[in-house]
Every structure is written in C-alpha cells, then in structure tokens.
Amino acid sequence: MNTTDRLVVAVDGPSGSGKSSVSREAARRLGAAYLDTGAMYRAVTLACLDAGLDLTDQDAVAAFIPGSEVTVSTDPAQPQVVRIAGREVTEAIREPFVSERVSAVATNPRAREILVGLQRDVIASHRRIVAEGRDITTVVAPDADARVLLTASEEARLRRRGLQLGGTQSEESLAAQVTGRDRKDSALVNFTTAADGVVTLDSSDLDFEQTIQALLDIVAAAVQGEGQAPQAQPQEDQHEPEQREPRQAQA
C-alpha cells in the first residue's frame, strides 16, 4: 500500500472507546479523509429540533433529512466543521441537549437508511478514508479493507469521557451519557461484539498513542493480506476538506 492506493478503514465501538479521536489521528497518518458518522446523527437531530419536529415522529424525521443540508468536514488535519444549511453547528451538536435526544434518530430505521446512503456516498467520494460510528463495519462499509471494533472497559470509557468533559459531570450524568445512551442506541445496531471478519481492539490498557499504533498495525496487516505493502505516512487527502452530502443520494 502506498498513500495513492484506495483504502477504506471502518471503525465501530461504544461511546468513549476512543473511536473519534483515534480514527481521526490514524486517518491523518494514513493520508486519508476522516468521516465521523456520529456527527451526522447529531447534526440531523439538531436540525430536526430547530425545525420544531417531534423526534418520535419517525416518518416526519426521515422525510426531513434529505432537505436538511447537513455537512460534515472530512479533513483530519483541520478542526471539524459541521454545518446545517451553511450555519456552523460544530459545538452545538455536542451539547447535552443534543446528546440526550440523538438516540431518537439513531433508533429510527428510515432515518438510518437515509444516513447510511449518505455515508456510503461520502466514502465512495474519497480515495482513502477512515469512517467511524456504530454500524460502519457491518452496514455502511462491510467491504472495507480493514474493519475494527474499538472497545474499552466501561470503567475506562466513563473515566475518559469524564476527563474529556473536564470533570464537570456527576457520576449519574456520565453514566447516562455513556452507558445509558449505548443501551438505547443498541436497539437496532450491535456495536459491542465484532461481526465475522471484524478485528476487536481493546484499548482499556492502552494509552492514546498505543491505541493508534494498534489500529495502524491492524490496517497494515489487513492490507498486506490483500497483497499490498503497508505504509503509514502523513499525506493530505486530495479531496475538498468539506464534503457536502449529495441530496440526490437520499431516499
């Protein structure tokens, strides 16, 4: 493999396992784009709330998505930018107000179908990409060159999320945001056990750098298995840093 070869890496896992941070840095080192599919679920949730939609009305939510103009940047070397119809919502989608409601979209089968289609379009539009979420290894990109389930113990995931939020959260609130949300989200998607052909990477006892290295090793081994030589060096992805999801791709 050299950085001109096509490469798709799929990473799934529960909340706080390190999917976003580890995938982003691995993408940067691989000269690949980075797709945070969770940001898409969050942005759609916020767009629906802004439009005054009832999130439990699954048909209305699904019908709303194609016109919502959600965009998520894909350059891992730049800070993430998320927009709804041109308006920047990068920070707003991380607010507890959204985190507490996003599972309503994540458990809406029609909404998932539309978002999966959009995510496949983004993946197809990049020569090299690392995509992460809950169903990338199984539904969005089951043919990815490398498929990884990134896990960590509940204790490690709660600790990491607590540190990430600056120690501001009560134990109860953290549990609701991490394990509570995972419980809701797993109604339609299994992201706790690896599907056939998916490599489990348990980061409980690994630090951040060790986890990135372990992921890059899995990618290198997978690509070698496909008959290419591994290489992990920084290189800018050739595509636009910000990717607009094609509206015609929506159901």
The Cα 47–Cα 70 span in angstroms is 8
Nearest to ligand ADP of 91, 207 (CB atom):
207
Burial of residue 86 (number of CB atoms within 10 Å: 0-12, 13-18, 19+): exposed
Query: Was 86 annotated as part of a binding site?
Result: no
Question: In this structure, which amino acid lies at residue 49?
Answer: L
Do 123 and 10 meet the contact criterion of CB atoms below 8 Å apart? Answer: no
Q: Closest distance between ligand ADP and the C-beta of residue 39, in Å? A: 10
Q: Closest distance between ligand ADP and the C-beta of residue 203, in Å? A: 4
Residue from 18, 31, 133, 162 in contact with ligand ADP (CB under 6 A): 18
Residue 143, binding choice from ligand ADP, ligand YYY, none, Cβ under 5 to 8 Å by partner class? none
Residue 102, binding choice from ligand YYY, ligand ADP, none, Cβ under 5 to 8 Å by partner class? ligand YYY
CA 23 vs. chain centroid, Å, equals: 8
Residue from 10, 22, 46, 220 in contact with ligand ADP (CB under 6 A): 22
* Rounded (5°) CA angle 165-183-163: 15
Give the CA dihedral 90, 94, 96, 101, nearest 10 degrees.
90
Q: Closest distance between ligand ADP and the C-beta of residue 54, in Å? A: 27
207 binds ligand ADP (CB under 6 A): yes
With tokens 């992921």, the residue in question is: 215
Residue from 3, 73, 103, 211 in contact with ligand ADP (CB under 6 A): 211
- With b for 16 or more beta-carbon neighbours within 10 A and e for fewer, the 157-189 pattern comes to bbebbbeeeeeebeeeebebbbbbbbeebbeeb
Nearest to ligand ADP of 15, 138 (CB atom):
15
Task: Give the per-residue contact string, 141-180, with ligand ADP (x = CB under 6 A; - = no).
Answer: -------------------xx--x----------------
Residue with CB nearest ligand YYY? Answer: 38
Q: In sequence order, what DSSP letters do the residues of 80-113 get, joined into one string?
A: --EEETTEE-TTGGGSHHHHTTHHHHHT-HHHHH
Q: Closest distance between ligand ADP and the C-beta of residue 207, in Å? A: 5
Q: Closest distance between ligand YYY and the C-beta of residue 251, in Å? A: 16
Residues contributing to the annotated binding site for ATP: 13-21
